[in-house]
Amino acid sequence: MVQAIRLSELTNKKRANDSRGDDSESDIDISSTDSETGNGSDQEDEEIVNIDFDFFNGNPDVDFHAIKNLSRQLLGQQESNRVQLSNLADLVLKSPTTTIKTDGQESDPYCFLSFIDYKENRESDWAKYLHKVDLKLSTFLKTIENNGKTCALVMSERLINMPPEVITPLYRITLEDVTNALGDDKHYDFYAIVSRKYEVNFDTDETVDRSKKRVKSEEIDYFHEEDRFFEKYAKLHVDSEARKGIISSYMVMDHQGLIKSIDELEEEISKW
């Protein structure tokens, strides 16, 4: 269970973590319970695992390889071959980025969120890749180039067993970092978010004739719980064709839509 912590406390905690290194304890305590029942009616003792999640700024000296691997996981095997992942990891780590770790600042991150300024990096390999994904997405990015609006390319990925309770503070902390980086209490006008979904009933049995496999699953589910809310407020939403059951998802949101999504996700989590 995640403790209820004010944004200011989380932000101050992150700053303290970045300055002190490994000696501090997290303000967030996740407890998971795994209970087993024997042959009779007696219930064995519960096993409780406490995990402390600490928020840190991205650290190029420590996080490069983990960011690269998480980016490969986010994009999937086929799409990641079309991107220079080392350059993408460098781009993430020079942008406002928050990581989540469990074993101090020098450990590998289990999660990251980054806001990459599109106009400053429109010649990057990552921006060029996004132009090739879909015509509607490319048209939107070209429109951003030709007007006074701003856009962040949002990269976020985590280990699959990370609890969704960490997501709303992760976004709020990183958005505050973005405001500090832009100055004058500014924020981006738009956010282009890359994510992924999966076909629930995808058949992975390679012995089955491919021509007889179900082409498209009847049910789609989300790797990232927040995407349910992002899609609701997206100004533009593009899904790729499923590749081995995985669907790449691209969403464009304005700032108001992003904040509403985070608020609604937080409210939903509070009911669990």
pLDDT number for residue 52? 83
Which long-range contacts does 265-271 make (Cβ < 8 Å, 24+ apart)? 265/164, 265/167, 265/168, 265/225, 265/226, 265/229, 266/168, 268/229, 269/164, 269/165, 269/168
pLDDT number for residue 86? 97
Q: How confident is the model at residue 204 (pLDDT cuts 50, 70, 90)?
A: low
User: How many residues can be counted in the chain?
Assistant: 272
Distance CA 137, CA 135 (A): 5
Domain ranges, ordered by start, for the chain: 54-269
Strand-pair partners of 64? none
- Residue 212 confidence (pLDDT) above 50: no
Non-local CB neighbours of 72 within 8 Å, separated by 6+ positions: 80, 85
User: pLDDT by residue (tens digit) across 137-169?
Assistant: 999 999 999 998 999 999 999 998 899 999 999
**Other CB atoms within 10 A of residue 112 CB:** 27
Helix (H, G, I), strand (E, B) or coil at 78: helix
Helix (H, G, I), strand (E, B) or coil at 248: strand
Distance CA 59, CA 38 (A): 47
Q: What is the CA angle 93-131-64, rounded to 5?
A: 15
Residue 151: both structure tokens together: 């856009």
Whole-number average pLDDT of the chain? 83
Q: How confident is the model at residue 100 (pLDDT cuts 50, 70, 90)?
A: very high
Asked if residue 209 lies in contact with residue 269, where contact means CB atoms within 8 angstroms, the answer is no
Q: Please give the residue that has the higher pLDDT: either 252 or 50.
A: 252
CA-derived radius of gyration, the chain = 20
Asked if residue 227 lies in contact with residue 164, where contact means CB atoms within 8 angstroms, the answer is no
Q: What proportion of the chain, given as a percentage, has pLDDT over 90?
A: 69
Fold for 54-269, please state it: Aminopeptidase (3.40.630)
**Other CB atoms within 10 A of residue 30 CB:** 18
Helix (H, G, I), strand (E, B) or coil at 30: strand
CA atoms within 13 A on the CB side of 227: 24
Average pLDDT, stretch 52-81?
A: 94
Distance CA 24, CA 22 (A): 6
Distance CA 139, CA 85 (A): 24
- In this structure, are strands 47-57 and 220-222 parallel, antiparallel, or unpaired? unpaired
- Residue 123 confidence (pLDDT) above 90: yes
Per-position b or e across 114-145, b if 16+ CB within 10 A of its CB: bbbbbeeebebebbebbeebbeebeebbeebe
